[in-house]
């Protein structure tokens, strides 16, 4: 992709993937809580909830929350309500505080902050209720709302349009190499997140106010 933004352009926007960057998550937590309420094996529950085609369809926005729940219920025999399921399914996150603490610091310095995430409606509603940093983000670009998942171009295009930014004006952290490669192809300053200390050092190297 070509861009009119010069390589020396200052960073205007800092973008975080959510899962494994600012929030750790573990679907095994949901599976363990869910299993006693079903009539199937651990393997079947895991296949329904953890990285399955059904979950990917939900995160792409091809299924509503109600439709996703109905299909999980059909596959597993879960005997609870949708409200109970949402509690089990949503509460799988742990805050990575060295990363979430960066959001107010970056905003105070006049930078735009955003999330760019492959995720689903139940997860986001839980995150919005539970973690204060989420409301501080200026933009949230989420797969289920746009019918597309990283590394497909659509979500990156939405982020650029929402922030009116291009190329090296955007600094991005993601835990998946393929998502970072797609961002670099658009000229973003994109880096694979592995540990908070490493990412914070990289941000400082690029002149971001993280200290």
Note the pLDDT tens digit of each residue in 149-158: 999 999 999 9
pLDDT band at 4 (very low <50, low <70, confident <90, very high): very low
How much is the pLDDT for 7?
A: 53
- Residue 210 tokens read as 């993280």
Q: Which of 74, 138, 58 is nearest to 104 (CA)?
A: 138
- Residue 117 tokens read as 């995430």
DSSP assignment, residue 9?
Answer: P
SS3 percent helix, strand, coil of the chain, rounded to 5, is: 50, 15, 35
- Residue 185 tokens read as 């192809």
Q: Which of 176, 160, 198 is nearest to 20 (CA)?
A: 176
Torsion angles phi and psi, residue 178, rounded to 5: -65, -30
Nearby residues of 23 by Cβ (< 8 Å), 6 or more positions away? 93, 94, 95, 96, 100, 127, 131
Region of 181 on the Ramachandran plot (φ > 0 left; ψ -120 to 50 alpha; else beta): alpha
> Are residues 72 and 49 in contact, defined by beta-carbon separation less than 8 angstroms?
yes
Mean pLDDT, residues 180-205: 98
Q: Where are the beta strands (DSSP E) in the chain?
A: 13-16, 23-25, 93-95, 112-117, 139-142, 170-174, 189-192
Domain ranges, ordered by start, for the chain: 13-24+94-205, 27-90
CA distance 113 to 72: 35
Quote the pTM value: 0.93
pLDDT band at 50 (very low <50, low <70, confident <90, very high): confident
CATH 3.40.50 is right for the domain spanning 27-90: no
CA distance 117 to 155: 9
Q: Which of 10, 62, 21 is nearest to 180 (CA)?
A: 21
CATH 3.40.50.460 is right for the domain spanning 13-24+94-205: no
**pLDDT at 2 exceeding the cut of 70:** no
How much is the pLDDT for 8?
A: 65
Note the pLDDT tens digit of each residue in 96-133: 999 999 999 999 999 999 999 999 999 999 999 999 99
Nearby residues of 163 by Cβ (< 8 Å), 6 or more positions away? 12, 13, 112, 114, 138, 139, 170
């Amino acid at each position: 992709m070509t861009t009119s933004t010069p390589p020396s352009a200052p960073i205007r926007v800092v973008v975080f993937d959510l899962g494994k960057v600012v929030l750790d998550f573990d679907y095994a937590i949901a599976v363990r809580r869910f299993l006693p309420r079903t009539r199937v094996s651990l393997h079947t529950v895991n296949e329904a909830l953890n990285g399955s085609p059904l979950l990917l369809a939900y995160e792409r926005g091809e299924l509503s929350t109600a439709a996703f729940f109905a299909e999980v219920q059909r596959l597993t025999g879960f005997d609870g309500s949708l409200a109970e399921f949402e509690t089990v399914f949503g509460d799988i996150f742990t805050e990575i505080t060295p990363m979430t603490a960066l959001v107010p610091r970056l905003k105070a310095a006049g930078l735009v902050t955003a999330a760019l995430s492959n995720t689903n409606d139940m997860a986001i509603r839980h995150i919005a209720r539970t973690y204060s940093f989420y409301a501080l983000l200026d933009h949230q670009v989420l797969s289920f709302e746009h019918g597309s998942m990283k590394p497909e171009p659509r979500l990156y295009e939405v982020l650029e349009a929402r922030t009116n930014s291009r190329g090296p004006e955007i600094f991005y952290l993601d835990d998946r190499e393929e998502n970072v490669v797609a961002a670099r192809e658009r000229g973003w300053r994109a880096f694979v997140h592995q540990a908070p200390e490493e990412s914070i050092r990289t941000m400082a190297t690029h002149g971001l106010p993280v200290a």
